[in-house]
Amino acid sequence: MQFYGETLSSRLMLGTAQYDSPAILADSVRAAAPGVVTVSLRRESANKLAGQAFWSLVSDMGVPVLPNTAGCHGVREAVTTAQMAREVFGTDWIKLEVIGEADTLQPDVFGLVEAARILTDDGFKVFPYCTEDLVAAERLLRAGCEVLMPWGAPIGSGKGLNNVFGLRALRAHFPDTPLVIDAGIGRPSHATMAFELGYDAVLINTAVAKSGDPVGMAHAFRLACEAGLLAHAADLMEERDMAVPSTPVLGRAVLA
């Protein structure tokens, strides 16, 4: 899998928030073997420098980092956060979030396109957190994005893929654009389904971090992603409205 010309070792992306301890986070990353970990910019305390300790932990994992602008509700805030993240994490990759609605954390597609254009002009490789809206997707691509990250469901909801029709349409309209399901995945089966639809990667956070066994769940998602990829490559059977017997009826004995 390649994003912006860089090859990843896995199509599973893993978030680093909400884990109960740094040790559980590190063990979960090892169990998931993700191609990327996402991190949010945190302002460091002038006295404790807590942010430096977290960055040291992430660096020691040896996994590529995708900073994000989580929690930003406006274009200026998102752009400034991205610029700070580039300095802190030393990468021009940025997962761009511009939240437009507080209850669902739905992206503000208008602000998202504007921020994406500003950041791509500034040399960033933008991964926009968006909806499955086809028009918004086209605008983001025109703004310079080479990857799209549509939500499956609201962030942290665990509802899976709410709009399968819309996600399938997005995949069909942009067959050559890397697409990542971001947000809403709650079960390994949801991740498998995303790959069966032809999506290129998935981003998981809450479903792993807040499960009863984050390490075990991370491993489960790793296997689910592999299963979905293999199923898509093997060409899934089409659904049918009627039953089709698996045993041939020709040659069956006829009793008078």
Residue 115 belongs to a domain:
yes
DSSP H or E run through 7: strand 6-7
pLDDT of residue 86: 92
Nearest residue to 185 (alpha-carbon basis) of 216, 212, 215, 218 = 218
pLDDT of residue 59: 78
Residue 172 belongs to a domain:
yes
Residue 137 belongs to a domain:
yes
Mean of pLDDT values over 216-240: 92
Residue 113 belongs to a domain:
yes
- Catalytic positions, written as ranges: 95
pLDDT (tens digit per residue) in 117-128: 999 999 999 999
Mean of pLDDT values over 27-45: 82
Average per-residue pLDDT in the chain?
90
Residue 66 belongs to a domain:
yes
Give the residue numbers spanning the domain of 112: 12-234
Q: How far is CA 170 from its chain centroid?
A: 15
What is the SS3 assignment for 180? strand
Provide the CATH number for the domain around residue 156.
Answer: 3.20.20.70
Mean of pLDDT values over 240-254: 74
| Per-position DSSP letters for 61-112, written without gaps between them | TT--EEEE-TT--SHHHHHHHHHHHHHHH--SEEEE--EEETTTTEE-HHHH
Residue 242 belongs to a domain:
no
Q: Indicate if the pLDDT at residue 246 is higher than 50.
A: yes
pLDDT (tens digit per residue) in 108-167: 999 999 999 999 999 999 999 999 999 999 999 999 999 999 999 999 999 999 999 999
Q: Quick one: 201 exposed, middle or buried, by C-beta within 10 A (0-12, 13-18, 19+)?
A: buried
Task: Give every CB contact of residue 256 below 8 A, 6+ residues apart in sequence.
Answer: none
pLDDT of residue 237: 84
pLDDT of residue 58: 78
Please state, in angstroms and rounded to a whole number, the distance separating the CA atoms of residues 232 and 245: 24
Residue 254 belongs to a domain:
no
How many folded domains does the chain comprise? Answer: 1
Structure tokens at 254: 């006829």
